[in-house]
Amino acid sequence: MAKKQTKGYPWTYCSLGGVVRVNITSGEDIAHLGELDQKLWTVLSCPTKDLEFDERTLKLIDTDADGRVRVQEVVAAAQWLTSVVKDKDAILKGDSVLKLDGINTDCEAGKKLYDSAKHILQNLGLEKDEISVDEATDSVAIFKDTKFNGDGVITPLSADDEALKALVATIAEKAGSATDRCGEAGITAEHIEAFYAALADYAAWQKAAEDGKKDIFPYGDDTAAALAACEAVQDKVADYFMRCKLIRFDDAVSAAVDVSAERVGAISDKNLATQAEEIASYPLARPTKDAVLPFDGINPAWQAAFAAVRALVLDAAFPKAQGITEEQWAGVLAGFGAYKAWMADKKGEAVEGLGLDEVKALLKADRKADLLALVDADKALEEESSAIDEVGRLMLYYRDFAKLLRNYVIFTDFYGRKDGTRGMFEIGKLYIDERCCDLCIKVSDMGAHADMPKLSGMFLLYCKCTSKTKGETMDIVAVMTDGNTRDLRPGKNGLFYDLDGGDWDAVITKVVENPISVKEAFWAPYRKVAKFVSDKIDKSAADKDEAALAKLTASADAGPAAAKQPFDIAKFAGIAAAISLALAGIGAVLVALGAAVKSLAWWQWIILIVAVILIISAPSCFIAWRKLRKRNLGPVLNANGWAINSRVLVNILFGKTLTSVAKYPKMKLDDPYAKRTPWWRKCLRWLIALLVVAFCVAYFTDNLGWMGIERKAKVEQPEVEFPEVAVMEDVE
C-alpha cells in the first residue's frame, strides 16, 4: 500500500490482481470521491439487477432510474451520506444500526433526518437511541394504524364516520385501488373522480331508457331475452330464405338445396339422438317456392331455439300466424334497432352492480367533496413522509455503501476471498466433474455473451439452471481454473448452489475453451497424438471392415465361375527384392541408432529424455502460461452489462483458489468388481522388465568407467598382414 502526494487529495493506492488500484481506507476518501479521476475507477457503471446486493440501495443511487449505477451517481450518494453522518469512518464498517447522535444535525438535511428517525421510533412504539435498517425501511409497520401518511392514498381508517368508511371500501371495489404505505388497499383522488363520473354516466344512461322506453324496449322486460333468441337463429333463418330464392330461380335445384335421403340414410343405422350436430347442419325447414317459414315444420335440432323465438317475439308480433315471410322476419330484426343503439351507448358499467337505486342514492348524498378533503389532508403530510423515506435511504446507504465501493472502485470483495467475501456479481457454486467452481455469475442476456467472453482467456462453462422448488430457471457462467477438460461438454449435468443454499439442476449449454492450467497443457500434445492415433486406428479398422464386406459381396456376385489370377513369378521376385531393400535400410538405421545410443553416458540419457519431453511439451506449456497470466474477468462482466474500466486479472495463483478438485486419501482398497489383469499381460510386463534389466546390464557392463572400475585388458589379437597389391599406373 502506498500514498501518492499530488496537488489534489492524497489518495492511497494498492495492488490487487496485478493491477494498481485506488484504495478507500477512510471516510475522508469517501467524501472526496468526486475528486478522484474517473480514469482510475475500476468500474464506470453497473446494472441494478441480478446482483447479490440489496436492489433497493442500487435503485436509490440510480437517480435517473435508467437501471444502471454510474460514477457521478455514486459520487452524489457519497457526498450526501458523508454530509449527514458525523463519523465518516464508521461508513466503512457497514453496520446496519446507527446511533441517533451519529446523525449530523448541524446541517438542515441531518436535522430533518434526526427528527424523522425519532418519529419512526415513536410510530413503532420503541424507546431507544438507535435505529436499524429494518426499522427504517418497514413502511407497513411505520405507518400502521395511521390515518394519514403523505402518499395521497386514503383507506377506510382515514375516515371518521362509518358511512364514509363504507364509501371508501365501495370505491376501492368498483373503481380500483392503490396500496397505501400502511399496506392496506386504499383510493386516490383519481379513483374518486372516476367513481363519481361512472355514477353520473350510468344514471344518465338509465334515464335515456326511461324516456324512450316504448321504442327501446319493444318487448318490455323480455326485450334482451327476445333479441338473444332471435340472434341465435338469425343465420339459420337467412340460410332458409336463400334456399327458397334458389328454388324460385330454378325448380331444378329443389333437391340440391333440400336435405337428401342419402344423407339421412348415412346416419339412419345410428342412434339419431346422438347425431344432433349432423342434423343441425340440415336446413331449418323444407325450402319451398313460396318462401314462407312454417312454424310447425322446423328441423328437430332447431326446434327448441325456434320455440323461444316464437314465444317471445312471433306470437306477440304475428298472433295466430303459422309462418312468416322474409320481409316479416326483417321487420322483427329491425324492431331491435333502438335497443341495440341504447346498449351500444352504455356507460358506467363499473357501478352497474350497485343497482340503479343505490347509484341514485350515492349521487344524492354527494360525499365526493368529503373524500377529496381526506386526500388533501393526507397529501399535507407528504414532506414529513418523504423525510421518513430519507431515513430509510440513510440506513441503506450506511450499511451498503462501503460494500458498493469495494466492488466498484477497488474490487477487494472479489480478490479478498480468504475472508469469505465475494464480488457482488457472484451468485453461488457449481459442482461438476469432481470439481467445485467457486466463481459463478448470473447471465441476464445470453445473446450478449456470444463473442465477448472469448476475449477473457478463461475456460467458461455456460449452464442452464432449474429449481423445481422455486419454479424458476436461470443461465449462469462458471469459471473453471483447475483439473482436466476431457469430460466437460454440452449436455453434461451438474448441481448449482446459490448463496442462500438453494440447489438447482444445472446442465452445460455452451463451453468456451481456453487453457485451464500448465499441467493440463503439458499433457495436451500427448493426448492429441493419442486421440489422432486412436481415430486413425478406428478409421482404418472401419475402412478395412467395409472393404472386406465389399470384397465378400463382390465374390458372392461373381460366383464360382470367377477365374483365379495366375501366379506371376516375376512380380513375386520384385516384391521380395523391395522388401529386402526396405529391411536392409531399416536395419542400417537401427544399427546406427544403436551405436549412437551405446556411446551415450547415463547423464546424457537423462538430458536426451528431458530434451525430447521439452521439445514436445514446452511450446504448449509456454502458450498456456502466457494466456493464464492474462486471464481477465472484465469481458465476462462487460457482457453482463458492466462497464469495466480496468483489468480484472485472474492469474495462475489466484485462479487456483477459484476451483477446488476432489482429493482422495491414498489407500489400498479391494474392489470385487474391478477389472482383472489377464495372465498374458502380467507375463508381458515381466518380459519387458527383464529386457530392460538385460539391456542395462549389457550397457553398464561395457561402460563401467563412470563408476571408477577398470575393465580387464582385452586380449590383443595378432594383426593380419595382407600382401601388397601392385597398382598399375595409367599408360598414356
Q: What is the mean pLDDT of the chain?
A: 83
Highest mean pLDDT among 47-56, 483-492, 655-664: 47-56
Determine the pLDDT at residue 629.
76
Cβ count near 230 (within 10 Å): 21
Mind listing the pLDDT tens digit for each residue in 56-115? Answer: 999 999 999 999 999 999 999 999 999 999 999 999 999 999 999 999 999 999 999 999
Q: Find the mean pLDDT for residues 33-58.
A: 93
Q: Would you give the distance in Å from CA 635 to the centre of its chain?
A: 19
Determine the pLDDT at residue 571.
53
pLDDT band, residue 579 (cuts 50/70/90): low
What lies within 8 Å, CB to CB, of 454 at 6+ separation is 512, 635
Which triple of cell numbers denotes residue 429?
Answer: 457454486
Which DSSP letter does residue 598 get? Answer: H
Helix or strand (DSSP H, E) at 435? strand 435-437
Rounded to whole angstroms, how far apart are CA atoms 253 and 351?
A: 56
Provide the sign of the torsion angle of the four alpha carbons 549, 552, 557, 558, taken in this order: positive
Q: Which residue has the cell 386514503?
A: 154
Which triple of cell numbers denotes residue 42?
Answer: 475500476
Rounded to whole angstroms, how far apart are CA atoms 219 and 227?
A: 9
**pLDDT > 80? residue 206:** yes
**pLDDT > 60? residue 592:** no
Rounded to whole angstroms, how far apart are CA atoms 571 and 30?
A: 94
Rounded to whole angstroms, how far apart are CA atoms 458 and 655?
A: 10
Is residue 109 within 8 A of residue 92, CB to CB? The reply is no
When comparing pLDDT for 334 and 212, which is higher? 334
Is residue 142 within 8 A of residue 124, CB to CB? The reply is yes
Q: Do you know the residue count of the chain?
A: 732
Is residue 88 within 8 A of residue 397, CB to CB? The reply is no
Which of 192-201, 509-518, 553-562, 711-720 shows the lowest mean pLDDT across its residues?
711-720
3-state secondary structure of 27: helix
What lies within 8 Å, CB to CB, of 371 at 6+ separation is 154, 164, 167, 168, 171, 187, 192
pLDDT band, residue 591 (cuts 50/70/90): low
Rounded to whole angstroms, how far apart are CA atoms 644 and 41?
A: 9
Percent of the chain with pLDDT over 70: 81
Rounded to whole angstroms, how far apart are CA atoms 351 and 353?
A: 5
Is residue 103 within 8 A of residue 110, CB to CB? The reply is yes
Rounded to whole angstroms, how far apart are CA atoms 650 and 438?
A: 13
Q: Which of 655, 722, 201, 207 is nearest to 459 (CA)?
A: 655
3-state secondary structure of 199: helix
> Phi and psi at residue 33, in whole multiples of 5°?
-60, -30
Q: Which of 158, 208, 207 is nearest to 185 (CA)?
A: 158
When comparing pLDDT for 515 and 301, which is higher? 301
Mind listing the pLDDT tens digit for each residue in 380-399? Answer: 878 778 888 899 999 999 99
pLDDT band, residue 728 (cuts 50/70/90): very low
Determine the pLDDT at residue 386.
81
Is residue 133 within 8 A of residue 396, CB to CB? The reply is yes
Rounded to whole angstroms, how far apart are CA atoms 281 and 294?
A: 18
Q: Find the mean pLDDT for residues 574-588.
A: 59
Is residue 17 within 8 A of residue 654, CB to CB? The reply is yes
| CA angle (385, 391, 395) in 5-degree steps | 155
| CA angle (139, 404, 385) in 5-degree steps | 20
Determine the pLDDT at residue 455.
84
Helix, strand and coil in the chain, % to nearest 5? 55, 15, 30
Distances (CA, A) of 139 to 183, 191, 367, 562: 8, 23, 30, 100
Percent of the chain with pLDDT over 90: 45
- pTM for this model (two decimals): 0.66
In this structure, what is the dihedral angle of CA atoms 97, 102, 108, 111, given to the nearest 10 degrees? 70
Which of 13-17, 189-193, 456-460, 662-666 shows the lowest mean pLDDT across its residues?
662-666
Distances (CA, A) of 38 to 5, 26, 76: 18, 19, 14
SS3 sequence of 274-292: HCHHHHHCCCCCCCCCCCC
| CA angle (314, 317, 320) in 5-degree steps | 70
Is residue 441 within 8 A of residue 425, CB to CB? The reply is yes
Which triple of cell numbers denotes residue 693?
Answer: 534389466
Determine the pLDDT at residue 691.
75
Q: Which of 82, 69, 67 is nearest to 35 (CA)?
A: 82
pLDDT band, residue 602 (cuts 50/70/90): low
Q: Which of 92, 43, 87 is nearest to 69 (CA)?
A: 43
Rounded to whole angstroms, how far apart are CA atoms 465 and 609?
A: 48
Mind listing the pLDDT tens digit for each residue in 277-301? Answer: 999 999 999 999 899 999 998 999 9
Q: Find the mean pLDDT for residues 699-708.
A: 51
Helix or strand (DSSP H, E) at 391? helix 382-405
Determine the pLDDT at residue 729.
44
SS3 sequence of 440-481: EEEECCHHHHCCHHHHHCCEEEEEEEEECCCCEEEEEEEEEC
Q: Which amino acid is located at 511 in the chain?
A: V
Cβ count near 62 (within 10 Å): 20
SS3 sequence of 562-585: CCCCCCCHHHHHHHHHHHHHHHHH
